[in-house]
Amino acid sequence: MAPAGPVRAPEAGGAAGMRIRAARKEAGLTQQGLSAAVQVSRQTIIAMETGDYAPSVYLALKVAKALNTSVERLWGDDVPPPAPA
């Protein structure tokens, strides 16, 4: 049986979440706007940005497309996180 609760993202330090947040802001989207574009709750976007949730491949593709970027840029191991604003 799978554990209950959110799935912890595999990256330490929330680097993927920082990249998602930066790409969302660069695209001019709010968390609500991104959630509507990919048809999930705003809480799901928040959880991805804080590193508390690793999306399915299908959702990762939808997020990357909505942000006009690639899955590799958002979740890739060899991509450094953006500098804090």
The pLDDT score that the predictor gives to residue 38 is: 98
Q: Are 16 and 73 in contact (CB under 8 A)?
A: no
Q: How many domains, in total, are found in the chain?
A: 1
Give this prediction's pTM. Answer: 0.79
| Average of per-residue pLDDT across 48-65 | 95
5, part of any domain: no
Query: Does position 1 have pLDDT exceeding 60, yes or no?
Result: no
- How far is residue 33's CA from residue 24's CA, in Å, rounded to a whole number? 9
Please give the residue that has the higher pLDDT: either 4 or 27: 27
Looking up residue 33, the CATH number of its domain turns out to be 1.10.260.40
| Average of per-residue pLDDT across 60-64 | 97
Full residue range of the structural domain in which residue 52 is found: 12-68
Query: Does position 31 have pLDDT exceeding 90, yes or no?
Result: yes
76, part of any domain: no
Query: Does position 2 have pLDDT exceeding 50, yes or no?
Result: no
